[in-house]
Amino acid sequence: MTKKPNLPEVRPEALTNPNLELVGAVKEWISEAGDVDVEAMLRELNKTVIEQVLETEMDHHLGYVKHDAVGDGSGNHRNGSRPKTVKTIVGDVTIDVPRDRNGDFAPVLVAPYQRRLTGFDDMVISLYGKGMTTGEIRSHLAEIYDTAVSPELISEITDQVLTDFQVWQNRPLDEIWPVVVIDAIRIRTLSDKVRKTPVYVAMGISIEGQREILGLWYANDLTAGESSSWWANVLIELQNRGINDILYLCCDGLSGLPDAVEAVFPETTVQGCVVHLTRASMRSVARRHWPAVAARLKQIYHSASAEEAAQLLDDLEDDWGDRYPAMIATWRRSWDVFTPFLGLPLPIRKLIYTSNMIESMNARFRSATRRRGHFPDTKSALKVMYLTAIEHRKNRSNPTARIGGWHQILNQLAILHPDRITIN
């Protein structure tokens, strides 16, 4: 059985000292307490600090400190206290909230009807963003902090994220983006049945070479999700947020997107993902022929020009077309969106020939969503993806980091597009 803590009184004056003295006072307090339940001690410390702050707020409200003779005849004075239980990051804490005779004292730290301190909400949102389900969060809080919460309360707390998401999704953007990559990640959601719902992610490279997630979108109607009109609405949304020009837009087999780009950003060059094109074409090739065919395809996308690539594709068709016509057809269908990067300098080629720039971000999305099995709706999935998108992990490479060697790339872009991009 855990020993009930017999805690020494914290000196109120220590709470108003500078931080160094406060830390020293807390250490002294802990050492004097002896062998006790640390969690209970932390709850008691929270209670002491919260009540001290509330007493200070009451001093400010009344205009005089407790037991001060100035309060005689002032018309309002302290009138005892009432107990209140609040949820904190160390569990449930019962505090005594001071009252005044007039009944108009409204504390700021623990507002009337408030049952959770800010740190508690932040903790729940953090756990949710790590991919924990509502049930797992409830079990965690009950096991670690001895705090019982309902599924409805967790949903209420995490729904606060949706407001932040809408602000983030509609934030202003720079006028010019040298490169934008759009890709899809499929999330399991429940409607009439569990199905895979595509959520589209757009990541851009700014004029300063900084990668940034521009937004997340999904279509309620899966059949319209990749139509030209749906993509036009997405691009117009980006336009309304401030984007006037995109030099290169890289995507992977998103039907309807190239036509929408031509309508909304007519000067933008659409580049298909070469890596995904190669993978798609190799699906129809027998495994024993992979090395030979892959070597020939590598020659095509390493060509010095579109003309050379076209000749190499003709040669490939002569040698392998009869055996693997589907492979050749895949390349023919995608030829118009494959060739643009062939006329560019090598550093820019490496930047736009694949949508893999966004794959590290998608890997984080999958890690955060996979353990949940499925989401009750797309809104719940967006909450987790948004929290993942804005997370910056210490001592880890972040998908939104700056592009290496950007100064060289920017100078080459300025030479290729002198009327669209300038270096100040």
335 has pLDDT over 80:
yes
pLDDT tens-digit readout, 210-232? 999 999 998 776 666 678 899 99
Strand partners, 182: 202, 251
102 and 192, same domain (yes or no): no
What pLDDT does residue 5 have?
A: 44
Across 2-6, 30-34, 51-55, the highest mean pLDDT is recorded for 51-55
17 has pLDDT over 50:
no
Residue 322 banded pLDDT, cuts 50, 70, 90: very high
Least confident segment among 38-47, 171-180, 287-296: 38-47
Is 164 contained in some domain? Answer: no
Q: d(Cα 92, Cα 86) in Å, to the nearest integer?
A: 6
Residue 420 burial class via C-beta count within 10 angstroms: exposed 0-12, middle 13-18, buried 19 and up = middle
Across 49-53, 78-82, 268-272, the highest mean pLDDT is recorded for 268-272
What pLDDT does residue 222 have?
A: 61
User: Phi and psi dihedrals of 223, rounded to 5?
Assistant: -70, -20
Is 76 contained in some domain? Answer: yes
402 and 255, same domain (yes or no): yes
Q: d(Cα 232, Cα 235) in Å, to the nearest integer?
A: 5
106 and 177, same domain (yes or no): no
309 has pLDDT over 80:
yes
377 and 397, same domain (yes or no): yes
Average pLDDT, the chain: 81
Q: d(Cα 214, Cα 168) in Å, to the nearest integer?
A: 9
Q: d(Cα 239, Cα 237) in Å, to the nearest integer?
A: 5
Residue 82 in 3-state DSSP? strand
Domain count, the chain: 3
User: What is each CA distance from 264 to 103, 181, 203, 219, 239, in whole angstroms?
Assistant: 60, 16, 18, 19, 8
8 has pLDDT over 50:
no
Percent of the chain with pLDDT over 70: 80
Q: Which amino acid is at 239?
A: Q
179 and 311, same domain (yes or no): yes
136 and 191, same domain (yes or no): no
What pLDDT does residue 4 have?
A: 42
- Give the contacts of 410 (CB within 8 A, at least 6 positions apart): 178, 207, 209, 421, 423
325 and 230, same domain (yes or no): yes
133 and 200, same domain (yes or no): no
Residue 10 banded pLDDT, cuts 50, 70, 90: very low
- Per the model's pLDDT, the better-predicted residue between 253 and 98 turns out to be 98
Hunting for tokens 């005594």 — which residue is that? Answer: 96
Element (H, E) at 97: strand 91-100
What pLDDT does residue 16 have?
A: 47
233 and 344, same domain (yes or no): yes
User: What is each CA distance from 192 to 39, 186, 299, 376, 382, in whole angstroms?
Assistant: 45, 17, 48, 10, 19
Is 166 contained in some domain? Answer: no
**What pTM was computed for the model?**
0.71
pLDDT tens-digit readout, 39-58? 666 667 667 767 776 777 77
What pLDDT does residue 13 have?
A: 46
Please state whether beta strands 194-205 and 176-190 pair in parallel, antiparallel, or not at all (unpaired). antiparallel
Least confident segment among 67-71, 159-163, 164-168: 67-71
Least confident segment among 7-21, 150-164, 230-244: 7-21
Residue 328 banded pLDDT, cuts 50, 70, 90: very high
Is 424 contained in some domain? Answer: no
196 and 96, same domain (yes or no): no
Is 131 contained in some domain? Answer: yes
102 and 131, same domain (yes or no): no
pLDDT tens-digit readout, 98-155? 888 888 887 766 777 666 666 667 777 777 777 777 788 778 777 766 667 777 877 7
Alpha helices in 283-324 (DSSP H): 290-301, 306-320
Query: Which of 132, 158, 184 is the last residue before a domain boundary?
Result: 158
For every residue of 243-286, which 3-state class applies, written as one string? CCEEEEEEECCCCCHHHHHHHHCCCCEEEECHHHHHHHHHCCCC
91 is in which domain, residue-wise?
Answer: 1-113
Q: d(Cα 161, Cα 46) in Å, to the nearest integer?
A: 26
Provide the token pair at 102: 């007039």
Is 422 contained in some domain? Answer: no
332 and 223, same domain (yes or no): yes
What pLDDT does residue 410 have?
A: 93
Average of pLDDT values for 162-182?
93
pLDDT tens-digit readout, 397-417? 667 778 888 999 999 999 999
Is 349 contained in some domain? Answer: yes
Query: Which of 113, 148, 180 is the last residue before a domain boundary?
Result: 113
User: Phi and psi dihedrals of 95, rounded to 5?
Assistant: -120, 160
Is 392 contained in some domain? Answer: yes
Average of pLDDT values for 345-352?
91
